[in-house]
């Protein structure tokens, strides 16, 4: 197995881990063991992995709110144990408890911007600011952020792209077209077929990519990043995919047909990636081994996390109060 195939097999394992983690969370939520609703991205993992691994390590990413922190794991800052502990309301490795969902953690050292506002669209403005900081400091890094097709309706999206294009900022805007904005279908919320057509309004390039194909997404992001570095203009990538999971674990998911879901399930990004690996000569046994290792990692993370001390409300409050006191100089 050559290095490229080995790397791809590792991605497959991580993507399967991401899937297993989500399924585990959905299951734990049903048992009433989680302290929040996970926002699942089953079926959309290739976009998360392709965007993250298409960038250079020095580039910056403002992740999507779905994905259970896969990008934090891929970039090396955070472990699955740490994230599992958070979901169970328990303290992590260092004994502290973070304030928001793992998909939204701030990790600027690893080039990851956390959410500061849960209203969708705000990530655009914040990512634009990071891109502005790159330009003003003459740094060669690009900034990538993602919105669903639903959030392309936000004023932030249009302001942010207009602002970035007129000021020549190194921004890659990935539109995760997953067909559903909570319970609203794309044809009722978006007035055009291809969202990438909006690029004409900002005078910037755009591309459409199969969002279920990890390699296609990764290669398109690489291409876009080089173009953005060369031209200092933002770039839109529309990744067409489908959310197989409910919006969150607080969603009965009874607004769409099983037939539709079944059709998309056949194009599952894990199936596509497994097929590619088989075509390069990877054995079925190797795939099975990779999946088993991921499942084992999730299970042992759960076993570790469930024994961690429960996060203390008074400690959480004290941590926030300390920051506010510092901000106010008190």
* Residues near another protein, by CB under 8 A: 60, 62, 99-100, 106, 108, 113-114, 116-117, 119, 122, 124-137, 143, 155-156, 159-160, 162-163, 166-167, 320, 322-324, 326-330
User: Minimum distance from CB of 328 to another protein (Å)?
Assistant: 4
Q: Which is nearer to another protein, 137 or 254 (CB)?
A: 137
User: Minimum distance from CB of 81 to another protein (Å)?
Assistant: 20
Q: Which is nearer to another protein, 64 or 214 (CB)?
A: 64
User: Minimum distance from CB of 173 to another protein (Å)?
Assistant: 13
| Cross-strand pairs, 247 | none
Beta 143-148 vs 60-62: how paired, if at all? parallel
User: Minimum distance from CB of 146 to another protein (Å)?
Assistant: 15
User: Minimum distance from CB of 157 to another protein (Å)?
Assistant: 10
Q: Which is nearer to another protein, 169 or 195 (CB)?
A: 169
User: Minimum distance from CB of 119 to another protein (Å)?
Assistant: 6
| Measured distance CA(214)–CA(47) in Å, rounded | 7
Burial of residue 136 (CB within 10 Å: 0-12, 13-18, 19+) is exposed
Which residues 6+ apart lie within 8 Å of 209 measured at CB? Answer: 216, 217, 220, 237, 238, 239, 240
Beta strands in the chain, from DSSP E residues, in sequence order:
60-62, 143-148, 171-177, 180-181, 184-185, 206-210, 235-240
| Measured distance CA(260)–CA(148) in Å, rounded | 19
Which residue is it, tokens 């390699």? 215
User: Minimum distance from CB of 49 to another protein (Å)?
Assistant: 24
| Measured distance CA(54)–CA(75) in Å, rounded | 12
Q: Which is nearer to another protein, 45 or 125 (CB)?
A: 125
Q: Which is nearer to another protein, 285 or 323 (CB)?
A: 323
CA separation, residue 153 to residues 7, 120, 148, 278 (Å)? 37, 10, 10, 40
User: Is the distance from CB of 82 to CB of 69 less than 8 angstroms?
Assistant: no
Q: Which is nearer to another protein, 120 or 237 (CB)?
A: 120
Q: Which is nearer to another protein, 62 or 66 (CB)?
A: 62
| Measured distance CA(62)–CA(64) in Å, rounded | 7
| Measured distance CA(214)–CA(277) in Å, rounded | 12
């Amino acid at each position: 197995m050559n290095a490229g195939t080995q790397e791809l097999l590792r991605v497959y394992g991580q993507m399967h881990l991401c899937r297993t983690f989500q399924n585990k969370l959905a299951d734990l939520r049903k048992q009433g063991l989680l302290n929040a609703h996970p926002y699942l991205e089953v079926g959309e993992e290739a976009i998360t992995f392709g965007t993250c691994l298409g960038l250079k390590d020095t580039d910056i990413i403002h992740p999507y709110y779905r994905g259970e922190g896969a990008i934090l794991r891929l970039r090396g800052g955070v472990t699955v144990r740490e994230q599992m502990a958070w979901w169970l309301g328990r303290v992590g490795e260092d004994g502290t408890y973070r304030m928001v969902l793992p998909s939204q953690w701030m990790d600027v050292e690893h080039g990851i911007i956390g959410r500061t506002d849960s209203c969708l669209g705000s990530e655009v403005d914040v990512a634009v600011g990071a891109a502005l900081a790159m330009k003003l400091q003459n740094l060669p890094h690009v900034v990538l952020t993602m919105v669903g097709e639903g959030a392309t309706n936000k004023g932030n999206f249009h302001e942010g792209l207009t602002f970035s294009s007129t000021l020549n900022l190194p921004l890659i805007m990935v539109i995760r077209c997953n067909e559903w904005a909570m319970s609203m279908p794309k044809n009722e919320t978006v007035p055009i077929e291809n969202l990438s057509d909006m690029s004409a309004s900002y005078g910037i390039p755009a591309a459409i990519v199969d969002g279920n194909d990890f390699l296609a997404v990764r290669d398109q992001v690489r291409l876009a990043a080089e173009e953005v570095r060369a031209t200092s203009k933002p770039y839109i990538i529309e990744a067409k995919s489908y959310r197989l999971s409910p919006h969150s674990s607080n969603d009965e998911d009874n607004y769409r047909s099983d037939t539709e879901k079944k059709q998309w399930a056949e194009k599952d990004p894990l199936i596509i990636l497994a097929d590619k690996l088989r075509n390069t000569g990877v054995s079925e046994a190797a795939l099975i081994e990779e999946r088993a290792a991921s499942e084992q990692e999730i299970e042992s993370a759960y076993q570790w996390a469930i024994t961690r001390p429960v996060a203390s409300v008074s400690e959480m409050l004290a941590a926030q109060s300390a920051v506010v006191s510092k901000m106010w100089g008190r």
